[in-house]
Every structure is written in C-alpha cells, then in structure tokens.
Structure 1
Amino acid sequence: MRNLLPIIRTNDSHPGGRSALTCRFRCGDACFHEVPNTTANPYVGDVIAGALSRRSVMRAAAVVTAAAAAGTAATVAAAPQAEAATADRGHRPSSKGARGLRFTPVAPNTNDAVTVPDGYGQNVVIRWGEPILRGAPAFDPENQTAKAQAGQFGYNCDFLALLPLPGEYGRQILVANHEYTDEILMFRGYDAANPTREQVEIAWAAHGLSAVVVEGERKTGKLVPVPRHPLNRRVTATTEFRVTGPAAGSDLLKTSADPTGTKVLGTLNNCAGGTTPWGTTLHGEENFNQYFANGTRATDKRYGVTATGTERKWERFDKRFDVAQEPNEVHRHGYVVELDPYDPHSTPRKRTALGRFKHEGATVRLTEDGRPVVYSGDDERFDYFYKFVGSKRMKKGSGRAVREHNLSLLDEGTLYVAKLTGDSPAIEIDGTGKLPGDGEFDGSGEWIPLATATTDGAVSHVEGMTAEEVFVFTRLAGDKVGATKMDRPEDVEPNPHTGKVYVALTNNTNRGKTGYAGVDEANPRNSNKHGQVLELTERWNRADSTEFAWSLFLVAGDPNDPATYFAGFPKDQVSPISCPDNVAFDPYGNLWISTDGAQLGSHDGLFGVATRGERRGELKQFLTVPTGAETCGPIVQDRRVLVAVQHPGEVDGASVEKPASAWPDGPGKFVRPAVVAVWRKDGCDIGV
C-alpha cells in the first residue's frame, strides 16, 4: 500500500508543523506562550492500590453485557484489546479492504491541489466571499466591505454539517464554522500594526457561521450552493446571542453593554462542532482568548488572555475586546453555541452548562432513555476532555412546543471531566512509545462530576468553587479535581454503530520536557509531535456511565517508526499519519480523521480507518489538501465526502502580493478557503 515520500524534517520551531503565520492568526501563538496548566495533577501512571483488579472486572462486565445485547451489539461492543488482538495472531487480514475503505490510497505529497484517489471526482462547493444572502454582491477582493461580507460565505471554514431539507429533492442545508481570519491573506497591502476600521469590521463579518442550502447533481456527487434561499443565513462576530444555562445572568457575565448577563454579541473562533438528534448544530468556541487585550485577572493566566495588545487590534475599535475596560466580556466566550438552521430568524444560544474552555467541538449521543450526552475536548497542551449528561429527555414529533422543549435540553444536567488510569507498571512507560508488556496502552477511567444544573439552580461538586464559577472557569474546576492532562484533546466523537468514543489528541511537543508533565500510559511519548487517537468504552456501553475503559487506538507517525501503533494492524499496510484533529464516521462505522500540521513532509489530509473486524486499524489516506492548508470538517456520506479546506496558502512570508498557493482559482487570483465535495466518477458508493 505504502508509497511514501522521503521523510522531510520540518522546522520544529512551530509545534505540529504549522507555519508561524497560522500560529499568529489561528490561536494567537498559543504554543509559544507559557502552558496555562501548571497544576500538579496525578498522571495516568499513578495507579492506586486495587485499581487493576477493578478495571479487569469493569472490562469483563462490559464485554458480557455487550455480548448479551440483541442484534449486532454482541459484535460491536467487544473490549478494545480483544478486537485489536484479531490482527495480531500471526495472520494477514484478507486482501479485500474494509467496506467503505476500498479505494487506492493517495500517496503523501506536496501538491498545490486537493488530491483524491483514482476514479474519484471533486468540485469546489463554495468559497470565501461567495454571496449567499439576498442582495449580497459578487465577491470583489479588491473592494471588500463589511456589509458585503455579512451576506457572503465567511472565511476559514472548519466544521461542516449537512442536514436534510424535507420537501426539496436533492437539497440539503450546509452549515459551516468560520474559525478565524488571516488579514495578511485577505487584504492587499495590509498593515498589521495599523488595521483600518473597515478591515476590522470585514473580519468581524467573516467570523462566525454560515448556513446555505446546497443542491446535488443527479449524475455526480457535485454540490452547488443555492443563493438567496430563505434558509440561508450568516452569523457573525456582531450577531446577538442568548446566554442560557446555569451561568446566564451571573455577575461574572455582566458588562456595561449587557447588565443582564444574558445577551452576547458574536461568536469567535468556532472550530469543530456537531449535530443534534433534534436537528440543530453545535459549534465550539476555541481560541477565543486571542481576541482580548490587556488581561490582568488571575483567571486569564489559565485561559491565556494576553496582558498586552492583540494581533488584530480589535480593542482599538470596540472596548468589549479590552479586558481593562470590560473585564467580564471574555467570560462570555468559550462556550458551545447552538444554532437552529431551520429557523433563520432564531437567536442562537450559548450553552453555559457545557462549560467554558477552548472547545474543539461538541458531539451528541442519547442515553437509553433519550437524554443527551455531549462530549468535548479542550484544545490546549495538558488540558482535559469532558462530557455533559443531560437530565431531560428529548421529545419526538414536530410543533413549536416540542421544538422549544428540545432546545432546552442542554441547559440542565451534570458536567464531568475525565480522569484516566493506566494498567501497566510505570517503568514500562518510558517515553519512547514502546508498547508495554501487555501489548497495549490501556486502562480505566472515571468521569468526575464538576457541577449540576437544574431548574431550581445549580450545585457545585468542586470544593472551594461555586457552581457559577465551575461553569465559567471550568479549567480551574478540572485542575482542582485532578483531571488527566492530555496531549491537546480535540474532536471527541462517539461511533454510532458501537457506542465507543474516539478522542483525537493532536500533539504536545512539551510532553516530558523539563518543567512540564511527563509521560503516562495515555500520553506515552516525550516531545509528542504526531499525536494519537484514544478509544473509550463507557461501562455497560451506557452513555451516562461514570466509569469507562480506554486504549490508544492509534499512535500516529511514520509506520516505519517503532513508536507507532495502528490497533495491531500490520504497519506495512497503512498510510502514514500525523496530528489527528477532526474525526467523523462513515455509514459503515469506519473512523475518518483529518489532520492539522502533519510533520511527515506531506500536506495535511483525510484518512479512513477501520474500527472493528479483521481489518481493524487499517488506515488509508483518502485525500490531501493544497499548500499551507489544513483539512477540516469531514463529512462522509454514502456517495459523497466533504472537507473544508482551511487557510490554503498560509505559509510564512506569504501575502496577497506574494501568494504561496494558487488554489482554488489559479494564478493571479486571491487564495480562498473553500468547501470541497468528492465523489466516485462511476456513481457508486464511496469505498465499496
């Protein structure tokens, strides 16, 4: 399978392989600032007496329960190590690939293009600046205005969702996040030290969310936008949001412009997200801290708000971005946002019950009795991953009352943080990535409750913190209860076929360095630049369980490196992968992984990997993205794959005058982030 490029050693001055330009505009140079988490939480390797036997019992119980379930449950809920062992028993899997992954993998490359497998076609669905609202003008990059941008598709698309559109054959609603803006690549002659008000207001309008109806061609998988459809919508950095949940109305959220603490203008740095069973979309506010200047409050040290001015200088044009003038405004960002794409006039909501941190995303599954469970990672070195278990059941049906009930589901319930324990002796976790004696990095874990929100108020489970403080300063609550420090937990996604939960851990080059946390069984490599994917099995396979088993499903990197692991699958039959970021599932239960900042000499890409059966761990590259770009927001349907091509051309030294990429429109044109659809030319299903 493997057709590898020579391994190119990238510049380690920017961890994860990102350019300095990306670091500046995407996360405010987070990797060059002091690590916010300086707590001395116990590590995964700190095994308490009796834990091993308890884990063994828990894992055995999970297997027995799964095997007793009806239908396919007996095969899909086996313990992680039992599945991995299938490919480790001295035989090769059958030559026929896993269903959904039967394509010729794309070789690692540095093409300035979206490169897809042989036999597949593609089209650009929508680009930055394309008009989607009635009255919005065609994109004119040399004469941009904030008014025009507010009606056009935003910049740097990330999370994508496709929702059905009943009654309109062949059409769906595409919802996209617009994570951040890169003004150097947006404006000719941009002066970073002195942006104009118009440039700042264009950037405000280019942030946020877009909802646009798209239509598919019958003979191909091509998708095209439907301009001026009544459901098309833009949400920007100046759109009004409603604050809901236990922190709504808190003194911590009140500002001079909003003394009620219930109304917020805008959503910032929306990264990944999720869809809900009741037909809404969730969007995670991630690196919100970088937009706020002059932060001096103690909590800013934990959330990374700068003590000086910001890169974009927004504080010069709106005092809400100046913490010295509005100390609480920053507390109004860093939440999960819920949008109703079927009601373009609805007010989007910030869900404080899901906690405040750098949400990479938010994905939902239901408990057996219909209550929502939301998983989310905090994308920071040595931070945590969380889940929220709702207390109200989803109602089925239509009508305003049902809709309003379901739109309240994420305001009441309990927020938890994960604590992991390894089952191998600490001496076997030596920082090299060598597997311990039992053949896997694995163990058990518990969900530690932080706070519970009810209709009658909220209760803190963290000593020394009120419930409001827990929901606003969630990182501090995680510190206090000893949550496990992870290597940048990003997207967290439950497999709809098995219930297993997958956590993308992108990288952490500070792991094991002097003054930082050392290795543990869940984060087993020093200077971890390639990342890993963790597989979590809730006890009894119940989403509302407070205990789980876990194992590392993938330890990423070059398969020739002994410090890599692909669920036990033969490593000479997999594609190299580095820096897993967003994850999604196809109709067959395969995990699809997009990468961010790959450090193996190839451009970032999208990969599919089997999660069960004899081909479990078989990983194949499906596409690569252009120069400087990141692969985001994957959607894998029966006959179509969608990706967001974010920040193409974002290479050190690049500008409008000196572009590093000619994608998507060729030389002489502005480089534009865009959404791409990929399909089989013969009209058959993806990967079969």
Structure 2
Amino acid sequence: MTITPDRATAVSTGERTMLPIAAHARGKRSPVTCRLKCADACDRPECNTSGNPTFRSIAAAAFSRRSLFGGAAAGALTIAAASGTSGSAAASPGPGGLPFDPIAPVDATIDAVVVPNGYRWQPLIRWGDPLFADAPIFDIGAQSAAAQARQFGYNNDYLDILVDPSGLTGVLVANHEYVNPAIMFPPSDDPAELRRRGEIFQAAQGLSVVEVVRDSVGAPWRTVVGGARNRRITVTTPFAVEGPARGSSLLRTAADPGGRVVLGTLGNCAGGTTPWGTILSGEENFNGYFVASASSPERARYGFSESPTSTGWETWDSRFDARAAGSENEPNRFGWIVEIDPQDPTSTPVKHTAMGRFKHEGANVRVDDDGRVVAYMGDDERGDYLYKFVSRFRMDRGVGQAARRNNRRLLTEGDLFVARFSGDSPAAEIDGSGRLPSDGAFDGVGEWIPLTRGRASAVPGMTLDEVLVHTRLAADAVGATKMDRCEDVEPHPTTGRVYIACTNNTQRGTAVPVDEANPRLANRDGHVIELEEEQGAGGRTFRWSILLLCGDPAGAALTYFAGFPADRVSPISCPDNVAFDSEGNLWISTDGAPSTIRRNDGLFKVPLEGAERGRVQQFLSVPRDAEVCGPVIRNAEGMVLVAVQHPGEDGAWDAPTSLFPDYGVPGPGQAPAAPRPSVMQVWRG
C-alpha cells in the first residue's frame, strides 16, 4: 500500500497529547469536531421527546405486514442475485477499472494518506486556493474576508464533478460545512480581531464552483483559475425562497419583511446532483450558529440554545441573535435543501420550502416511472427521521434552456412524507445485542406517512406553513419512527433500491428503546439499511432490511455484513456518505472508527449482488483527525475523488496534529505549515 503523496514525501508522524475523547464520541472522533460541527448535539438531551410508537406497539396494531401487503408479504425481505447470475462485483474489471487489494486499517495517530498498491494521490484543490484571477495566493498569516470570498472554502463535504461532453473539462462543486478557528488563526481575545475573523469564517462557508480540466480521460484533474463558471456562495449570498412557505409570516424578518430572500446558507453537509444538472445541498447543523431561547417547543425541538456560538457572529451580526428585535425568525430561514445551477454563475440559488425544514444531511433524486421526481432525505440527529418528497410536476426530458427552466420548478411543489418502519420478528428476539432474529435478518415493511398534500397540510392541527417550517414537530405528530441518525440517503442508479446510512446513536436504549430497524443498544458503529419501494418511487409502502451492522468483527459488538463471512471483511464504523460505481457497487465513506479500536477514517467498497454481496473492502484511509466525505467513484476511468474534511481538527495553531496535504512543503507565504481541508483525487498509475 502507498502512504506518501504523489508529489510530497514528508509525512508527519509526530506525537502529541490528544484532547480527551468525550463520553459520547466514537472511536477516534475529537470532541473539537463535536463542538464545531454540531454544537455537541450528541452530548445533549435528545431533541425528540415525542412518544412515537415503537415497532412493538405498531406490530400489535393494525399496521402489519399482512395488512399492508397481504399474506404474500409474510416472508423476510431478500434482495440477492438470481441463481446462476454473476454479481457485478465478480466481473473482472476492464482497462481503467478499480481493482485493488483492501488496505489494512491505519492507526489514528498516523498522519498520512494510505491508498492501495498501484494507486497514486494528490490534492485537486485546497482550502484557500484561488478561484479567480484577482484572488491572492493563500497566505495563512494574512487572511481576509475579501480574499476568502474569492478562494476555495473550508471543510469541504459534498463533492461532485459534472463532466462536459468532451470528457476533458467540467465543473467541480463542493460544500463547505463549518470552520475551526483554533487551527485557522493564533489565539486572540481582541474584539476587533475576532470580528475580522468572523467575517472570514462567513466567507469560508457555503459552496465553491470551479472549472476543471485534464489531459485525457482518467488523468488527474486541474482547476482553472478564473474559469467562466467559477463561483463562491457564502453566508451573505442572496437566496430566493421558493415553495409553499415563500412569504410566510414564519420567515419574515426586519431585513426581509416579505419572507422571500435569505442571505446565505449554513452547515452545508451532503447533497446530490439532480438529473437536470443542478446541485442540491443540505443545511444541517444550523442551530449552532444562533443564540436563541429554547423556551418554545419549536426552538427546543431544533436544539437551539442561548449559549455563545463557536463563531461568535452573534456579537456583531444581529441576524445570529434571535433574541434581537426583528431577528426572531432568522433561524427559521435555515435548515432547508438549497439548489444551485453550477453552469450559470449569475443564477440565484434557491431554498426549497416544499421539502421541509430539519437538519438535512442532503437530498438525492431519482425519476419515477411516471416522470415525477422523488428526493430522499435524512435528518441527522439522534432519534429523528427519514423523509421523501414527491414532485407534483413531471421532468422535462428535453434539452436546452427551456427544459432546464422547467425542471428547476420540480422541487417547488409536491408531497412531503416521513417514514414509519415495522419489523417482523418477535419482540424478545430484538434484545439490543445485534444478534440476528430467528428468521436470519433484521427486516420488515414500512409506510410513507404524508405531511403535506401539495399546498395543503396533512397533519391535523398544523397549517401548511407550520408543517414546512417546523417539520420535526409535524413528523412527531404522525408517529414516524425514530432512527439512529439518518445521514446520506441515496437511490441505486439501476435497481432503484434506496440505501440509508444510519451513522450511530450512542444513546439508543436510553432515550428510545431498540427496534428492528435500530437493533443495537448504544449503537456506536452504525448500520446501513436497504429499502425497496412497493409501488415505485411515488408509492406509499416499502420493504426494508439491514444490509450492514457495522463495527469490528473482532470486537465485542455483534456485526452483520449481508451474510458475508465477518472474518473476511474490513472493519467499518459510522457510515456517513454513500455513492455507487458503474458496476452497481456501494461505496461508503466513514465518520468514526470502530469503538474497539482507534483508526483513521476511510472509504469502503461493498458489492451488492452475487457471492460477494456484503464484502466490505477498505480502499483508502485519510490522515489524522480527518473525515472522508463526498466520494465520487469513476471506476471506468480508474479514479476516485473524496473530500478530506477537518484534517488535524484536534490540533492547535502552534501544535498541528496534521500537515495534510502539503506535509511541511507549503507554497509561498504559507508558513506556518498547517492542515488544509482539500479535495483529493486517487488514480491508477
């Protein structure tokens, strides 16, 4: 395996004392990450205090396998290749494919990128790299808001490259989720300096759009400084509010009395690329940016607090102090799915109210047989829910600007649903250990419960505006199933089955009992659910099974890998983002190591068909303190791209724990050496 970068060989392996791992943290995750990314959400009481029915009470009620599907549905869900059919993973890869020998897990103290033998890696773009001709070369000691607004942002998460017809040019889009002041700047308590830095932080978040080129298909990409489509979207970029809640009294502020224009986007985590070529981005941990009283049920349900924020914006920007007159509704203007057009840098980004407001990990879209589009979404918090949105209008399959304009309205009107799961095993067999029930699978059926019907509320006692702005409360009211942090939710490009990454829930069994879809107590390692719609993507019922019960098979916790022998898989924990290759394999990036060992995060391949189904294989490992995000798998080209987020998160300005990606060989003006979140490309060579 290869541990050195393609163009730099100096790798830091120096030791320093790690910050104490918080009680709720998993594996290697730093408490710094928990504080900055999600305002210590896992260390607080669960926001969802609703008394929603558990699987056991649902199973005892009329909602059952038989009542949903009739007697033919009584068997366990099995999704496997037909006898005699070769699984895609068993096919030998052609030229330019991604054959590899799985790498071994890498100790969490090692600050290195590890890729399989026969592969090389290098950064494609790093925090601070210029996007425009007038942007300065990054100088960590001389940052400014004006410079950062023209440079690549911080802590990249969702990632995609939209390749032009030539195959040699395209446009890269990346989210920028949050910042880490302690490793971006030296310590300071000067109010003027802290405000100056706060303005830089606002410019460092949002999204980046940058043109890329390469010499041949499969060769590494290069960014184009000053590309015609290059763009930065930040915390001050105007967004149009669209959908049924546009103009709602719940969205009006003193600065925007019409409730139709919002400045900026926050906490942009995962996302999706639509079939019509736009990018969707999820506003996730937005509550941590506001000082807001949690005295109301609406505020409490979204985890707001009057504690100072990690950015300090509320001290100089009244938008982020929801106690200030005229700013009371500002928090309601975040927590949406946003859509941008990466081909048109003059277009106005949109916030889609029809898709509901919660801690969106992202949204991923497929087109149903009848032409309507369906978006799947997870709410990334302990005990929250799985959602889908079904459009009212049908996709225009034409080409050109008219079709693009028509398709830009697809997410503005439709029906919003939340999931209720039911298991089919006796209650006594779901004991929290992770041991499979007697039928050999954690599986069952489910129902999509309507929250809206077009421009009408489907929740008694709540108006349409209330359902869309306070979606968590609406989902509570209809009895949705509490999940173990649904993060990325993506439909398979050919089978249409939907894969749900449930990252973890260390308090499962404390705040809410185990059930068949969330079957482990103190679920530190997470699991992946495979879901199949019954009547197409727009249908109301589905079948589901647990594909992976993650962890270290050699550890104490029970694991399951779709029936594949556990002694032949790579240990995997805390599944976060998922993607697919052209052969139909699932790829999973992680945000946390198994609870029994401290290892760096990685990217893993999982075949879904044939004899190799469930065989988890680690492809790469990222450096110390980092998380793998936004995988882009181009197996036909022999290339993988990932966003390396928060490398060296546990360090300090004068004591870095990572030097990724330059490893002590910074460019002009970049001293002192510091970690820089980056997009990394890996290719055969």
* TM-score normalised per structure 2: 0.90
Deviation, structure 1 residue 298:
3.0
Change (3 A) 1:96 1:386: closer
- 1:554 is matched with which residue? 548
- 2:55 is matched with which residue? 44
Change (3 A) 1:433 1:475: same
609-618 vs 230-239, which moves further: 609-618
Residue 626 (structure 1) aligned to one of 612, 623, 627:
623
- 2:116 is matched with which residue? 117
- 1:15 is matched with which residue? 25
User: What's the Cα RMSD here?
Assistant: 2.4
* AA at the equivalent of 1:301: A
Deviation, structure 1 residue 34:
1.6
* AA at the equivalent of 2:660: W
432-441 vs 562-571, which moves further: 562-571
2:133 aligned with 1:134? yes
Return the alpha-carbon distance in structure 2 between the equivalents of residues 133 and 475 of structure 1: 41
Change (3 A) 1:267 1:53: closer
Return the alpha-carbon distance in structure 2 between the equivalents of residues 308 and 105 of structure 1: 45
392-401 vs 213-222, which moves further: 213-222
Deviation, structure 1 residue 57:
4.1
2:226 aligned with 1:228? yes
Contact 1:285 1:358 in 2 (8 A): yes
- 1:240 is matched with which residue? 238
* AA at the equivalent of 2:122: N
Deviation, structure 1 residue 195:
5.6
Contact 2:448 2:540 in 1 (8 A): yes
Return the alpha-carbon distance in structure 2 between the equivalents of residues 277 and 61 of structure 1: 33
Contact 1:460 1:467 in 2 (8 A): yes
Residue 463 (structure 2) aligned to one of 463, 466, 475:
466
Deviation, structure 1 residue 401:
3.0
- 1:684 is matched with which residue? none
Q: How does 1:278-677 map to 2 (within 5 A)?
A: 278-296=276-294, 297-325=296-324, 326-453=327-454, 458-513=455-510, 516-540=511-535, 542-561=536-555, 563-599=558-594, 600-637=597-634, 638-639=636-637, 640-651=639-650, 654-667=651-664, 668-677=672-681
Q: How does 1:177-256 map to 2 (within 5 A)?
A: 177-191=175-189, 196-218=194-216, 221-256=219-254
Change (3 A) 1:524 1:219: closer
Change (3 A) 1:342 1:662: same
* AA at the equivalent of 1:451: T
Return the alpha-carbon distance in structure 2 between the equivalents of residues 570 and 86 of structure 1: 19
Return the alpha-carbon distance in structure 1 between the equivalents of residues 185 and 64 of structure 2: 58
Unaligned ranges ≥5, structure 1: 2-7, 64-78, 682-688
Contact 2:201 2:311 in 1 (8 A): no
Q: How many residues align?
A: 645
2:677 aligned with 1:679? no
Contact 2:337 2:363 in 1 (8 A): yes
Q: What do the CA deviations read for 1:288-307 (whole angstroms, capped 9, x no partner)?
A: 00000032443110001112
* AA at the equivalent of 1:462: V
Contact 2:22 2:31 in 1 (8 A): no
SS in 2 for 1:163: strand
Contact 1:129 1:139 in 2 (8 A): yes
Change (3 A) 1:98 1:567: farther
- 2:6 is matched with which residue? none
Return the alpha-carbon distance in structure 2 between the equivalents of residues 596 and 59 of structure 1: 41
Return the alpha-carbon distance in structure 1 between the equivalents of residues 161 and 214 of structure 2: 12
SS in 2 for 1:392: strand
- 2:40 is matched with which residue? 29
Return the alpha-carbon distance in structure 2 between the equivalents of residues 595 and 479 of structure 1: 29
156-165 vs 279-288, which moves further: 156-165
* AA at the equivalent of 1:673: P
Change (3 A) 1:107 1:409: same
* TM-score normalised per structure 1: 0.90
Return the alpha-carbon distance in structure 2 between the equivalents of residues 230 and 95 of structure 1: 40
SS in 1 for 2:198: helix
Q: What do the CA deviations read for 1:436-490 (whole angstroms, capped 9, x no partner)?
A: 000000000000000123xxxx200101100110000000001000000000000
Q: How does 1:131-170 map to 2 (within 5 A)?
A: 131-166=130-165, 169-170=167-168
Change (3 A) 1:93 1:146: closer
Return the alpha-carbon distance in structure 1 between the equivalents of residues 72 and 499 of structure 2: 20
Q: What do the CA deviations read for 1:9-39 (whole angstroms, capped 9, x no partner)?
A: x946142332111111111111112210011
Change (3 A) 1:386 1:193: farther
Contact 1:177 1:208 in 2 (8 A): yes
520-529 vs 215-224, which moves further: 215-224
Deviation, structure 1 residue 218:
2.4
SS in 2 for 1:35: coil
* AA at the equivalent of 2:378: G
Contact 1:28 1:290 in 2 (8 A): yes
Deviation, structure 1 residue 102:
3.5
SS in 2 for 1:432: coil
287-296 vs 98-107, which moves further: 98-107
SS in 2 for 1:229: coil
- 1:685 is matched with which residue? none
Return the alpha-carbon distance in structure 1 between the equivalents of residues 346 and 203 of structure 2: 18
- 1:73 is matched with which residue? none
Deviation, structure 1 residue 189:
2.5
Deviation, structure 1 residue 59:
9.5
Unaligned ranges ≥5, structure 2: 2-17, 665-671
226-235 vs 180-189, which moves further: 180-189
Return the alpha-carbon distance in structure 2 between the equivalents of residues 269 and 95 of structure 1: 36
SS in 1 for 2:146: helix
Deviation, structure 1 residue 404:
1.8
Change (3 A) 1:49 1:474: closer
* AA at the equivalent of 2:605: G
Change (3 A) 1:222 1:399: closer
Contact 2:188 2:194 in 1 (8 A): no
Contact 2:186 2:653 in 1 (8 A): yes
* AA at the equivalent of 1:538: E
Q: What do the CA deviations read for 1:376-401 (whole angstroms, capped 9, x no partner)?
A: 00000000010000010111223443
Change (3 A) 1:113 1:193: farther
Deviation, structure 1 residue 245:
0.3
State percent identity of aligned pairs. Answer: 53
Q: What do the CA deviations read for 1:600-622 (whole angstroms, capped 9, x no partner)?
A: 32100000101112211111000
Contact 1:195 1:313 in 2 (8 A): no
Contact 2:380 2:485 in 1 (8 A): yes
SS in 1 for 2:100: coil
2:241 aligned with 1:259? no
- 2:8 is matched with which residue? none
SS in 2 for 1:409: coil
Return the alpha-carbon distance in structure 2 between the equivalents of residues 676 and 182 of structure 1: 20
Change (3 A) 1:217 1:400: closer
Change (3 A) 1:258 1:617: same
SS in 2 for 1:83: coil
Deviation, structure 1 residue 53:
4.7
Deviation, structure 1 residue 84:
8.7
Contact 1:101 1:608 in 2 (8 A): no
Deviation, structure 1 residue 496:
0.7
* AA at the equivalent of 2:163: P
Return the alpha-carbon distance in structure 2 between the equivalents of residues 50 and 387 of structure 1: 24
Contact 1:58 1:539 in 2 (8 A): no
Q: How does 1:49-64 map to 2 (within 5 A)?
A: 49=61, 52-54=64-66, 57=69
